[in-house]
Structure 1
């Protein structure tokens, strides 16, 4: 009987020793695997950090190169002194357009979240008033002359409006401004009396495939009996200029939003999820 007990004890201790050895090996293997996984993760993190540094460096170099390109493009104005004939003039504008398109297409959009809408237009076209009316509160400064001197965002209910400095047909483009334009869901160009006020920026948007909308603001300044003719004049200008990326055309008054039906049409258009 004692021999049986001793054999059972011996068997039990042997099994415990084997189990302990298995546990020891399992722990050792697990620790080794964890160490290996940690090393792999560390290498991945290090590679990601190096990749980020490389991308930042590359982005900085690209931005520097594009800035230089746009600077060269802006200094082309000096070449006008060499224009002696219509052939020279035609060559000058053709080269300028080609350089602009080439550089602009290399610019990447700003990284933004949500729906962003840019309000553009010449000085005193009612951009700030438009923003205040769309938001239903006074947030953008209004006045006579150039009030907005830099890009300024204003948070709406489900979109962000960008007030912009006054533009005209001599406005210089930069990589920063084009990156902003590209990141917008909508680009609203405000005019007052003729498409020609901002035809150059419309043509630029056409060249780089950016859609835009035209808002004939201060429509209340036109006499009521002349408004129908005024509408036809604007539509005729749109047709004659062949604006390729024009999406919508609105006739309204940001100062008196409820006076014209196009105000409701504009709000529906901007807040629509499929616009």
Structure 2
């Protein structure tokens, strides 16, 4: 059995299939581990969603910001924008099944046998892994509970950008979602910056990439994440691995086999 971690798919079905064919992916043995953002912006979100349902027993994904946005649209909170390219998926006969499956997925997954923790955007360096997991598990229960519209409706906005022990339940919900699905740069007191998406070289001096801030705890696990296309996979060391290499923006998709420490890449086809 092999674990194949893959960067942001975002509806790029053909590129994903080519990578799976290249590694001879066997759903009866192997695990596909997407870093979130399965759909939206790409040309074939409906095909990606159908694939996830077809091989769901072999998929270990986390939620990304576009996955949460799809759930908000599906539940009638927003109208899809043209560049979301979600019309085919929303009209598909399996759309409800996919939305229900997606709502059961976590914000964070751990792979103890691989010493890997996966989150779409990352983990906040000022919080412990157990703090993250506690909040992630609670959010997963909320989303899977079926009454998610009020939580999703109040999820949007940039107000909740720093941890506080006296958070309301909604602020706690928003904070862990902001950390795990939106985070890129931090300000000098650990506040999340929601505006800057620049490369490391172009970022303002007052911002620091979250993975360059020392962790509050010593840890021997590697954090695998996506979300940040402008990094183009340049972050790879014992502590961190960035897998979003901008396929939906015309670049390429990256897959990583943890057991062999091998990367595979497929250029965009559209």
Tell me if TM exceeds 0.5.
Answer: no
Q: TM-score normalised by the shorter chain: which range applies?
A: under 0.3
Based on CA coordinates, which of the two structures has the bigger radius of gyration?
1
Higher relative contact order (Cα pairs below 8 Å, separated by 6+ residues): 2
Higher helix share: 1
Alignment TM-score, normalising by the size of structure 1: 0.27
